[in-house]
């Protein structure tokens, strides 16, 4: 099966922080893959900026090295590589002064009639000064868009400040708050499963679904980012954005269309319907942990405090939450959320656990009957499994087995699975905001998360320790098992 590629209209993309880690690992490889696929028009330009001066040839050498270490970029077509590198130019720009901005304006002047994307691959403290100078130097056109990387703030107040700073220069319709999880193929297939099949939507409610689990687990530690991570933690870093967005896609009502605002209106309703977690109930509804030294990938690994180089820290590297949605569709259906670093394996998945059958017609010799469940795997090995009960083949009576109908995207479609950034960057060029967060979504998520952070802070309890290479603190197991359920591992 061959994926259909639709060429986008001519564009210029200006990458602020073009020599940084995000550009090296994700943005430049994603843009190259879209060029390789034939999606970029001949006159598309990629303009890198950062503070330090850099000749164009040196920037192209940086990009060539980035492609050499990027996941999935193999056997590079030299002709395409040369074409891609020729698209690249570099302008030294100081985000905190006017230095270099006239040069950037001159570079962009030739493309005033085309789509213009400003990608802020920088820390959030630079969003305001960069946007202010983009506006002051007259770089915003009717076809301009700005891409804002997470984190959008560290709490509601700071998120509102960031949104206001960006909003002073760009219309909301031109602001693309990126969450790369929403660009994953399986996340979008969640909407296809629900809304393109008659099978699921009639049973997508509390009459048929027992509970939902969302797991985003990492086997790595802070990977040299312990200083930053200690100011964030798992709740801010993963739950407020990635996991709540996944929860919204599972729980939202069918939108009237796939128009961006129609989808985001329904996601916002879910965020507003989340039952509060605060000082009155956080001890029953949340668990936070911090990893200690252990083993991972066949070798010994240090604990979080050793990576941080500090004797103490109250930052959580693991969090588990029992979330509840107060509406008719989901009343009584818990959503169990967990994420953490240095866990037993790297896996991101959504498990929709259906209710058990009300009565069994089979005798004891048939074996236990397990409830159906739908498993949507985001990484690794993206795909979908539907677990069903079937008869074990052969004579000898009725013996039941719990087996999956398994669809691996790689094996079924036989095509390369694009990285999320590839899809999202092209969506920015097209002006399609469906997979991006709206301002009120970001702020609604913080309104739910802030009271949890406040409750943890007021309690003065320290995160519960867990050994690296395990599935987190034992209290996370108790969180779900006291409800008569257990965490599901469909690896």
List active site positions.
Answer: 242
| Phi and psi angles of residue 232, each rounded to the nearest 5 degrees, phi first | -115, -75
Two structure tokens written together for 24: 């090296």
- H/E stretch holding 14 reads strand 11-16
Cis peptide preceding 151, ω within 30 of 0: yes
* DSSP sequence for 87-128: TEEEEE--TTSSTTHHHHHHHHGGGTTSEEEEEE-S-GGGHH
Two structure tokens written together for 99: 């230095």
Contact 87, 116 (CB under 8 A): no
First to last CA, the chain: 27
Beta-carbon neighbour count of residue 413 at 10 Å? 14
Contact 319, 339 (CB under 8 A): yes
CA–CA separation, 370 vs 348, rounded Å? Answer: 23
| Phi and psi angles of residue 52, each rounded to the nearest 5 degrees, phi first | -80, 140
Two structure tokens written together for 171: 């219309």
Two structure tokens written together for 397: 């009576």
Residue among 166, 157, 162 nearest 133 (CA): 166
Residue among 404, 469, 424 nearest 150 (CA): 424
| Phi and psi angles of residue 55, each rounded to the nearest 5 degrees, phi first | -60, 155
CA–CA separation, 210 vs 225, rounded Å? Answer: 38
* DSSP sequence for 254-300: PPSSS-HHHHHHHHHHHHHHBPP-STTTHHHHEEEEEEESEEETTEE
* DSSP sequence for 360-397: --S-GGG---PPPEEEEEEESS-EEEEEEEEEPSSSSS
Partners of 50 in the beta sheet? 92
């Amino acid at each position: 099966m061959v994926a259909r590629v639709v060429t986008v209209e001519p564009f210029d993309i200006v990458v602020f922080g073009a020599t940084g880690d995000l550009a090296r690992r994700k943005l430049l490889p994603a843009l190259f893959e879209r060029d390789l696929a034939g999606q970029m028009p001949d006159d598309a330009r990629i303009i890198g900026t950062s503070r330090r001066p850099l000749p164009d040839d040196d920037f192209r050498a940086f990009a060539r090295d980035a492609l050499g270490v990027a996941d999935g970029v193999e056997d590079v077509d030299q002709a395409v590589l040369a074409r891609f590198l020729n698209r690249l130019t570099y302008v030294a720009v100081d985000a905190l002064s006017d230095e270099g901005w006239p040069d950037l304006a001159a570079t962009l002047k030739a493309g005033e009639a085309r789509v213009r994307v400003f990608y802020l691959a920088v820390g959030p403290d630079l969003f305001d000064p960069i946007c202010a100078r983009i506006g002051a130097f007259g770089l915003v056109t009717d076809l301009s868009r700005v891409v804002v990387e997470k984190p959008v703030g560290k709490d509601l107040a700071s998120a509102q400040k960031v949104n206001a700073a960006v909003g002073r220069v760009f219309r909301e319709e031109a602001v693309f708050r990126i969450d790369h999880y929403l660009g994953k193929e399986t996340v979008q297939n969640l909407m296809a499963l629900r809304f393109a099949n008659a099978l699921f939507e009639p049973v997508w409610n509390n009459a048929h679904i027992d509970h939902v689990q969302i797991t985003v687990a990492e086997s790595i530690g802070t990977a040299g980012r312990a200083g930053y991570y200690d100011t964030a933690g798992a709740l801010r870093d993963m739950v407020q954005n990635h996991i709540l967005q996944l929860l919204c896609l599972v729980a939202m009502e069918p939108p009237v269309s796939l128009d961006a605002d129609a989808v985001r209106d329904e996601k916002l309703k879910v965020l507003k319907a989340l039952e509060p977690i605060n000082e009155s109930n956080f001890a029953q509804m949340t668990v936070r942990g911090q990893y200690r030294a252990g083993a991972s990938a066949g070798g010994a690994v240090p604990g979080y405090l050793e990576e941080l180089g500090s004797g103490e820290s109250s930052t959580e590297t693991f969090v588990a939450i029992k979330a509840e949605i107060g509406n008719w569709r989901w009343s009584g259906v818990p959503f169990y959320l967990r994420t953490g670093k240095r866990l037993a394996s790297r896996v991101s998945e959504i498990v929709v656990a259906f209710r058990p059958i009300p009565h069994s017609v089979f005798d004891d010799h048939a074996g236990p009957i397990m409830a159906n469940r739908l498993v949507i795997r985001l990484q690794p090995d993206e795909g979908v499994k539907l677990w069903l009960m079937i008869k074990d083949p052969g004579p000898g009576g009725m013996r039941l087995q719990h087996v999956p109908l398994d669809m691996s995207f790689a094996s079924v479609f036989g095509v390369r699975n694009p990285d999320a950034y590839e899809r999202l960057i092209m969506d920015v060029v097209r002006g399609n905001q469906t997979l991006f967060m709206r301002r009120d979504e970001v702020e609604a998520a913080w309104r739910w998360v802030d009271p949890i952070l406040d409750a943890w802070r007021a309690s003065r309890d320290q995160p519960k320790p867990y050994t690296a290479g395990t599935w987190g603190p034992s209290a996370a197991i108790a969180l779900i098992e006291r409800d008569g359920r257990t965490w599901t591992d469909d690896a």
